[in-house]
Structure 1
């Protein structure tokens, strides 16, 4: 349904922790102008864990308003309570989002049957297109390929963001599900390989900082231009790594601030990027050509 570089966009904040709506508008314009293929609002990188329900819904709605139909908006609506996930997903639909991104329920460690029934319940309750999101390194919950294959039979479950950490996992899902389910990388470092293997794109942290390059890399890979995709990705390799020197979104929020688009404020328990990492991230941005 979507393809290319879908930016997992940061949520800008004032020093007191309030959402910076002016900066949010600037970010959306930046991504429209720089070629991002879609915006994911209030995902992990958007600090979904520390925004309350009303803020969550308002950010999704405002991103839709700022985008004004110029690129798709995907709302992050996952929760470890099925009821809460339904409520957030309904909010995304009513706010005009084109799809919802639902992370696996974290902390409570459901069974594979529980995962199937959780995602089915959300899909049955809210008709918006839905993207599964698997990131066991954060959630302590891994949705297995056979469960994904079952969920692919549900019409409005259209894709999965796979961030299990290997290339083999998304390849297996592609083999199992074929055209019934789009597969997106959830790791910038392996996005090129996954797209060349049949994936449709990446939900990207690096695209916050280098959206034009991420778009170009994805388009080259989608067109089967392996050498071109590899050359672009080589410019981005240091950035992919540097944006995880501390937990996401700490480094990327600092990096976007260096572009003059947002401030450096971040909500506890996250803290601003440690000073000894500043030069590492700055040099990666220089190598990518986004900072002088």
Structure 2
């Protein structure tokens, strides 16, 4: 259902408010550069500091500006099942193609709780769900057995996973335990190459915010099984993948975007602060290495 380079979009701010004009320009640039889908209001979109009204407006603008050119995978995750359902209901109404739903964070539910959370969402809204497993942020880990059980119970509703566990063996675990139609997307840019080799179909990417064409070309090389070209592009992007996390994300990627486009600021919301000087130097060096500045 989804494949290729899929940026987890930043949410631009200017003077504390959602910068809608900059976001529309970002959406257009991403699509023109070859991104295959867009994710508003994910982790990189600072969804945790958006009010529900802001959250919904960002999704609405993304769907409107994309105008059917690429699918929109709306970030709908919450540690409150009812709030996640609220986001899904809005996203379906405004035309999103799917929901990216992170494992409940902070609450630390058991695997039975995770199963109940996603089951409730699948049973109360028919917007396709892409599970999002990022235990480094949520503490909660969606075990492969739970992923397989959810996909088997709700094959029409739970259609894929963004896996940022860092465990490449899970790509094979999921592939062996679920229908071949289940969509696996890397959640770690630096692991996208081996993940694709293991059976993933693309990456929900931070780096693609600032290097959309290079990321799209890399994914296309993987599709074409041109390993030499994929490796060449991966090497070019590799320093940038790590520079994006030299400080709390999305500080570095917003700084990188501000270096590439004058319509983007590096403004983040508290408790995040703009990235440090050492992080800026790492980002600048990585941008130069990739030929982006």
Residues of 2 paired with 1:13 and 1:106: CA distance? 25
Work out whether residues 133 and 164 of structure 2, in 8 Å CA contact, stay in contact via their aligned partners in 1. Answer: yes
Listed as ranges, the gaps of 5+ residues in structure 2 are none
Is 1:78 equivalent to 2:77 in the alignment? yes
Contact 2:207 2:240 in 1 (8 A): yes
Q: 2:38 aligns to what SS in structure 1?
A: strand
Q: Which residue does the alignment assign to 1:231?
A: 232
**Equivalent residue number for residue 101 of structure 2:** 102
Q: Deviations over 1:93-114 (max 9, x none)?
A: 1111111000000011111111
Question: What SS class does the counterpart of residue 148 from structure 1 fall into?
Answer: helix
Number of aligned positions between the proteins: 290
For the residue of structure 2 that corresponds to 1:44, the secondary structure is coil
Per the alignment, residue 245 of structure 2 pairs with: 244
Any idea what SS the aligned residue of 2:14 has?
coil
What are the within-5 Å matches in structure 2 for residues 18-57 of structure 1? 18-57=17-56
What's 1:269 paired with? 271
Tell me which residue corresponds to 1:8: 8
Q: Distance in 1 between matches of 2:56 and 2:140?
A: 25
SS of structure 2 residue aligned to 1:183: strand
Following the alignment from structure 1 to structure 2, what is the Cα–Cα distance between the partners of residues 198 and 226? 14
State the distance in 1 between where 2:172 and 2:260 align: 35
Query: What does residue range 1-292 of structure 1 map to in structure 2 within 5 Å?
Result: 1-15=1-15, 17-153=16-152, 154=154, 155-260=156-261, 261-291=263-293
Shift of 1:264: 1.4
Q: Distance in 2 between matches of 1:234 and 1:178?
A: 32
5+ residue gaps, structure 1: none
Is the 2:10–2:250 Cα contact (8 Å) retained in structure 1?
yes
Task: Report the TM-score when normalising by structure 2.
Answer: 0.97
Q: In structure 1, what is the Cα distance between the partners aligned to 2:144 and 2:230?
A: 27
CA RMSD, 1 decimal: 1.0
SS of 1:75 mapped into structure 2: strand
Instruction: Give distance in 2, aligned partners of 1:111 and 1:170.
Output: 22
What's the CA shift string for 1:63-100, capped at 9, x where partnerless?
10011111111100011111111111111111111110
Alpha-carbon distance between aligned partners in 1 of 2:98 and 2:292, rounded to the nearest angstrom: 30
Separation in structure 2 between the aligned mates of residue 215 and residue 162 of structure 1, nearest angstrom:
19
The alpha-carbon deviation at position 172 of structure 1 amounts to 1.6
Q: CA deviation at 1:226?
A: 1.6
Structure 1 distance, partners of 2:11, 2:180, is 33
Matched position secondary structure for 1:266? coil
Checking the alignment, whether the CA contact within 8 Å between 2:209 and 2:253 is kept in structure 1 is yes
Residue 152 of structure 1 aligns to a residue whose secondary structure is helix
Q: Is the 8 A contact 2:59 2:91 kept in 1?
A: yes
Cα distance in 2 for residues equivalent to 1:71 and 1:11: 18
